[in-house]
Amino acid sequence: MSRIAYVNGQYRDMRDAGVNIEDRGYQFSDGVYEVCEIRGGKIVDMPRHLARLQRSLHELRIAMPMPQAALEVVIHETVRRNRVTYGIVYLQITRGVARRDHAFPTKPVKPAVVVTARGLNYQKNQETAARGIGVITIPENRWPRVDIKSVSLLPNVLAKQQARDNGAYEAWFVDGEGHVTEGSSSNAWIVTKDGRVVTRSAESGILAGVTRAVLTELLAALQIRLEERPFTPAEAYEAAEAFVTASSQIVMPVVRIDGRPIGTGTPGAITTRLREEFHRFSNFS
Ligand code: PDD
Span 264-276, mean pLDDT? 98
Mean pLDDT over the full length of the chain: 98
The string of pLDDT tens digits covering residues 133-148 is 999 999 999 999 999 9
**Ligand 1 pocket, mutate which of 38, 46, 186 (most atoms under 8 A from CB):** 186
249 lines ligand 1 (CB under 6 A): no
What CA–CA distance (Å, rounded) separates 135 from 80? 35
Span 249-260, mean pLDDT? 98
Selecting among 107, 149, 160, 193, the annotated active-site residue is 149
Side by side, the strands of the sheet bearing 87-94 are 10-13, 4-7, 112-119, 87-94, 31-39, 42-43
The string of pLDDT tens digits covering residues 66-104 is 999 999 999 999 999 999 999 999 999 999 999 999 999
Q: What pLDDT is recorded for position 28?
A: 98
The string of pLDDT tens digits covering residues 185-228 is 999 999 999 999 999 999 999 999 999 999 999 999 999 999 99
List the residue whose alpha carbon is closest to atom 16 of ligand 1. Answer: 186
267 lines ligand 1 (CB under 6 A): no
pLDDT-based confidence at residue 233 (cuts at 50, 70, 90): very high
216 lines ligand 1 (CB under 6 A): no
212 lines ligand 1 (CB under 6 A): yes
**Given a cut of 80, is residue 26 above it in pLDDT?**
yes
52 lines ligand 1 (CB under 6 A): no
**Ligand 1 pocket, mutate which of 43, 91, 247, 281 (most atoms under 8 A from CB):** 247
205 lines ligand 1 (CB under 6 A): no
Domains and CATH numbers, the chain: 4-120 (3.30.470.10), 125-281 (3.20.10.10)
Q: What pLDDT is recorded for position 61?
A: 98
List the residue whose alpha carbon is closest to atom 2 of ligand 1. Answer: 186
247 lines ligand 1 (CB under 6 A): yes
What CA–CA distance (Å, rounded) separates 48 from 195? 28
**Given a cut of 80, is residue 1 above it in pLDDT?**
no
Q: Residues 226, 61: contact at Cβ < 8 Å? A: no
List the residue whose alpha carbon is closest to atom 6 of ligand 1. Answer: 185
What pTM was computed for the model?
0.98
Q: What pLDDT is recorded for position 60?
A: 98
- Residue 159, by phi and psi: left (phi above 0), alpha (psi -120 to 50) or beta? alpha
Q: Which of 95, 113, 115, 116 is nearest to 8 (CA)?
A: 113
Q: Which atom of ligand 1 is nearest to the CA of 187?
A: 16
What CA–CA distance (Å, rounded) separates 75 from 72? 5
Q: What pLDDT is recorded for position 2?
A: 86
Q: What pLDDT is recorded for position 229?
A: 98
Q: Which atom of ligand 1 is nearest to the CA of 206?
A: 2
Tell me if residue 107 is catalytic. no
Q: What pLDDT is recorded for position 281?
A: 92
Angle at 213 between CA 111 and CA 91, to 5 degrees: 25
Q: What pLDDT is recorded for position 222?
A: 98
240 lines ligand 1 (CB under 6 A): no
pLDDT-based confidence at residue 33 (cuts at 50, 70, 90): very high
CA 186 to ligand 1 center in whole angstroms: 5
